[in-house]
A = this chain, B = another copy of it.
Amino acid sequence: MTSDLSPPFRPVEVDRTSPVPLYFQVATRLQELIEKGEIGVGARIENEVDLAERLGVSRPTTRRAIQYLVERGMLVRKRGVGTQVVHPKVRRPVELSSLYDDLVAGDRSPRTEVLELRTMPAPDPIAAALEVAPGTEVTWIERLRYAGGEPLALMHNAIPVDVLRLTRDDLAAHGLYELLRRSGLTPRIATQVIGARSATAAEARTLDEKRGASLLTMTRTAWDAGGRALEYGSHVYRASRYSFELNLSAG
């Protein structure tokens, strides 16, 4: 029935002198083979035991490599059946990146205008969102983001001052998440709410839209691995120029 028994694809050799973990080497190699189509969608890969033996690694190591790709949506395992390729490229769960990074990646030449930058005690709703004490000092930022010469988004952020200090120049030249990461602060968890509403007169003017035009709204709070709140953001995007793309995967 399943004629596509794994062809003897090229040996995946591992480098035991490398500091890269073996399971990761195996996973990366498999991912390459799949992305290049050398193992086609629907094809079954070799069973764990044989694969492990052929690579000269243990079965747990092989399992861990396969598991890694299963979690990324490339492979599917069924007990008693085998492991099958279901998608030729990684489906990332959801990116936790900033708009700026996305625009750079998409070659849309972003530019940032810093409209406001000051420190102030956090208003209650923002303190609540950040899960910090009311009145905690935060840096309040208002930015206008351009892409391809056109205004795209109006962004408001609050960052606790003891998390990061920011300058106008930094913000004009880099995305907020890049600045965070550069300071060793890695956002790991975030909650977002995405909605829509009509533009106010002032927003329409700033964003070069007609009054009452539809805007996408996004509010987000991001935490680092230690559970410390890094950033609260409340942004509006021109719906005519922007939308959110998400890849979901459910266990």
Contact = CB atoms under 8 A, between A and B. Distances in A.
B227 A76 contact: yes
Contact of A193 (B196, B240, B245): B245
Interface residues of A, number: 46
Number of this chain's copies in the complex? 2
Interface centre among A96, A189, A196 (most CB of B within 10 A): A196
A247 B95 contact: no
A87 B243 contact: no
A106 to B, nearest CB: 15
B94 A227 contact: no
Interface in A134-188: 186-188
Contacts of A215: 196, 214
Contact of A246 (B87, B94, B226): B94
B216 A196 contact: yes
A105 interface: no
Contact of A195 (B193, B225, B243): B243
A192 B248 contact: yes
Contacts of A195: 216, 239, 242-244
A222 to B, nearest CB: 8
A91 interface: yes
A250 interface: yes
Contacts of A56: none
20 contacts: A41-B227, A76-B227, A86-B223, A87-B223, A93-B93, A93-B249, A188-B250, A189-B247, A189-B248, A189-B249, A189-B250, A190-B247, A190-B248, A192-B248, A193-B243, A193-B244, A195-B216, A195-B244, A196-B216, A198-B214
